[in-house]
Amino acid sequence: MKLVNNKRYTVLLVLGLVNITIGLAEMLKIIPYPGTATPGVSMMGSGIFILIIGLYLSRSPELESIPDERTMKRDMKVQSSTFGVILAYVTLLALVDASWSSNLINMGDFFLIFSRPEDMSVLFPRYMSIIFVAIISVVALTFYYNKKGDL
């Protein structure tokens, strides 16, 4: 097993090990967590995932390919369009929270993490939906701009 000597992959490996260590320390109650949820399992899972990605990338040979102008233009258009989609989705979520909440200043429970961080488990599905929309929009917009042809 030959590892590629590259700082990017070393950072991934170290980050994965740090996540696993923090998750293990939280599960063993070395690091106290005041909330009701236990983020140790999530930290260990993400650490293992990052560690696997770092090991895979450090073993695979690095290809020196320079993207052409069309690919760079497509990627820039996908990035800006995805930012717009995420911004519209978050605005829609905030407006729905504001309209369903009795207190319009508080914006419902959307910004709950700033006032009560122990209730983060309420917001976890909301933030995961934002990440899901971001991933789907990147894939769909890349496919769309590839099929569109002329940028």
| C-alpha to C-alpha distance for 91 and 102, rounded to whole angstroms | 18
Query: Which pTM does this prediction carry?
Result: 0.53
Q: What is the model's pLDDT at position 104?
A: 47
**What is the secondary structure of 101-132 as a DSSP string?**
SS-TTTTTTTTHHHH-GGGHHHHHHHHHHHHH
Q: Which residues of the chain have pLDDT under 50?
A: 104-107
**Angle formed at CA 22 by CA 16 and CA 27, multiple of 5 degrees:** 125
pLDDT single digits (tens) 119-139: 556 666 777 788 889 999 999
**pLDDT value at position 86?**
92
Closest to 48 (Cα-Cα) out of 36, 56, 37: 56
Please report, for the chain, the start and end positions of each structural domain, with discontinuous segments joined by +: 7-59, 69-148
Residue 122: the pLDDT is 60
Q: pLDDT tens across 78-98, in order? A: 999 999 999 999 888 777 766
